[in-house]
Amino acid sequence: MRKKIGECLIQAGLITEEDLRHALAEHKRTGERVGVVLVRMNLATEKQIAKALAFQLGFPYVNLVENPPDPAAVVLIPKEVSIKRVCVAVGLEKNLLTVAMSDPLLFSLVQDLEFQTGYRVKQVVATRGEIIDAIQTGLSR
């Protein structure tokens, strides 16, 4: 069984058990995801959450500032879809489209993208902020 995101962050020494208890109480109250709550409460950064999520789920983490998306790949997903679903195509190799997303558990998104683009989709994790910046930058070229 995989570890929960809070456990991953505690193990990495990024938050305390007390921090997690506070975040879980807020999560229960608001229904927001624990990672979102931790960022909102300034207990973790968006990047720390993204890296922990990638580790937890076994997906690669990509820093889109250091590794900007290939402009030829970005345009393969319509801007409206990228913005609404918080994802951006970052690379294309043969019939494999690499897509950065902040929530790689959106399997319906993967299926939709494979259908819309005609490519197999490989998921990677990036922060929501970096994805949105990459969409704006990549589609304004």
| Residue 120 CA: distances (Å) to CA of 7, 25, 76, 78 | 32, 39, 12, 16
pTM of the model: 0.86
Instruction: Tell me the percentage of the chain whose pLDDT exceeds 90.
Output: 70
Exposure string for 82-119, b = 16+ CB within 10 A, e = fewer: bbebbbbbbbbeeeebbbbbbbbebeebbeebeeebeb
What is the DSSP secondary structure assignment for residue 16, as one 8-state letter?
Answer: -
**11-42 residue pLDDT tens:** 888 889 999 999 999 999 999 988 899 999 99
The DSSP code sequence of 55-82 is HHHT--B--TTTSPPPHHHHTTS-HHHH
Instruction: State residue 101 phi and psi, 5-degree precision.
Output: -140, 150
Section 82-106 average pLDDT: 93
What would the two tokens of residue 1 be? 């069984």
Rounded to the nearest integer, the mean pLDDT of the chain is 90
Instruction: Tell me the percentage of the chain whose pLDDT exceeds 70.
Output: 96
Q: Under DSSP, is residue 94 helix (H, G, I), strand (E, B) or coil?
A: coil
* pLDDT value for 6: 86
